[in-house]
Amino acid sequence: MQPLLKENNCFNYAKIEKLFILKEMVETSLKVPFLDLQKVNSRFQDQFQDTLSAILDSGWFILGDKVEAFEKDFAEYCGVKHSVAVANGLEAIVLILKALNVEKGDEIIVPANTYIASILAISQVGAIPILCEPEENSFNINTLLIEEKITQRTKAIMPVHLYGQLADMAEIYNIAKKWKLSIIEDAAQSHGASKENGKKAGNLSDAAAFSFYPGKNLGALGDGGAITTNDHSLMEKIKILRNYGSKFKYENLYKGFNSRLDEIQAAFLSIKLQYLDQDNQRRREIAEIYTNTIKNKHIRLPKKPAFTKSHVWHLFVLRTINRDDLQKFLTSKGIQTVVHYPIPPHKQRAYSEFNNLELPITERIHKEVLSLPISPVMSNEQVQYVVDCLNEYKVNE
């Protein structure tokens, strides 16, 4: 396989672009789209239309009854005391960091293989992301490597429940307690994931950030996000920060943001929240079929979690050293796949200060991962077709 990383440690963009072009070429014979958002949302069309009419009649469009109702519904769903709805997942993290008084030069320990938004949020408040290698079986932060990263400047640990699977929160809690650090969950991919004791993502830290980007397990018809917490004063501060730093109109306590959720999105989300558990269960069924019936010596399947409900399968991510070839093969079969993610944050041009860091596990993951279609609206026939094609795949040696 060709090396993906160029000598100067910057990423080979030309190669990535080629993969995208390939995907476009087969659009006409697409048998299994990666994620059919039309189908996901058309299930709720009548309910969406009714609520839209009601909102049009009300004439109130930002931070109103619908947002308050969704905040209540979502807090209840996550089992927390409070939820604050905001504009998107990235800003949910930024607002938590701000509310926890994270400042310039403070350090936040975060998995090196996360989606870029976790890292961007840390940068946006002037703090420094301290990149920690993941554990290969779960793709989540390796808790054995956290303590060696702690310094005088460390303020918080920010685990990401990557691809939908809970990080080892019990161990992270022990470390945070010992070193008096805050914990922030990036729960943008893990709506509904739950521990054996029934505690869910969003209720396993000081504050958690969710995204309702359309492709997430709970997705709006546009951007959206939320913060969950059991800390009353943190919730109050975040509510003020999301609205210009103002509690009473034209009076500003903090240098705040505009990060508010629309009434329309909140109302749509309240409708879809009722079906989240059902949708997650369907994702688990598909993951079960994939893991039990894909048998190919060139493919390493994701490890089943010890506790089924700790994973909501936002993504089904396999590994193979023939990743680009396998993607091409599946494309030719009309199966759309995506790489999450092709370039690790520390190899991005935007993070040139980190380009020389050595994070071999993270780098290998980025070269080998491929995400198969998985969504609540996939048919059994589609699932079986994906399995059949993967079992048929051969490597030309």
Ligand X SMILES: *Cc1c(COP(=O)(O)O)cnc(C)c1O
Interface positions with ligand X (CB under 6 A): 88-90, 114-115, 117-118, 160, 186, 188-189, 211, 213, 223, 225
What is the CA angle 195-314-96, rounded to 5?
A: 70
Q: What is the closest distance, in whole angstroms, from the C-beta atom of residue 386 to ligand X in the complex? A: 23
Task: Give the shortest CB-364-to-ligand X separation in angstroms.
Answer: 20
Taking the least distance from each CB to ligand X, the nearer of 146 and 162 is 162
How many whole angstroms separate alpha carbon 158 and alpha carbon 109?
A: 6
What is the number of residues in the chain?
397
Residue number with the smallest Cβ distance to ligand X: 89
In the bound state with ligand X, the residue whose beta carbon lies nearer, of 48 and 139, is: 139
> Which residue type occupies 82?
H
Q: Give the residue from 154, 142, 145, 149 showing the smallest Cα distance to 108.
A: 154
Indicate the residue among 223 and 324 with the shorter CB distance to ligand X. Answer: 223
State the DSSP H helix or E strand holding residue 116, giving kind and residue range, or none if neither.
helix 116-124
Q: How far is the CB of 242 from ligand X (least distance, A)?
A: 14
Which of residues 262 and 331 has its CB atom nearest to ligand X in the complex? 262
How many angstroms separate the CA atoms of 141 and 161, rounded? Answer: 9
Minimum distance, C-beta of residue 180 to ligand X, in the bound complex (Å): 25
Nearest approach, Cβ of 214 to ligand X (angstroms)? 9
In the Cβ-directed half-sphere of 191, how many Cα atoms lie within 13 Å?
A: 31
Task: Decide whether 51 or 211 has the Cβ nearer to ligand X.
Answer: 211
208, 61 Cβ separation under 8 angstroms? no
Rounded Cα distance between 397 and 376, Å, is: 37
CB closer to ligand X out of 74 and 393: 74
Q: To 5 degrees, how large is the angle CA 152–CA 156–CA 160?
A: 140
Q: How far is the CB of 358 from ligand X (least distance, A)?
A: 23
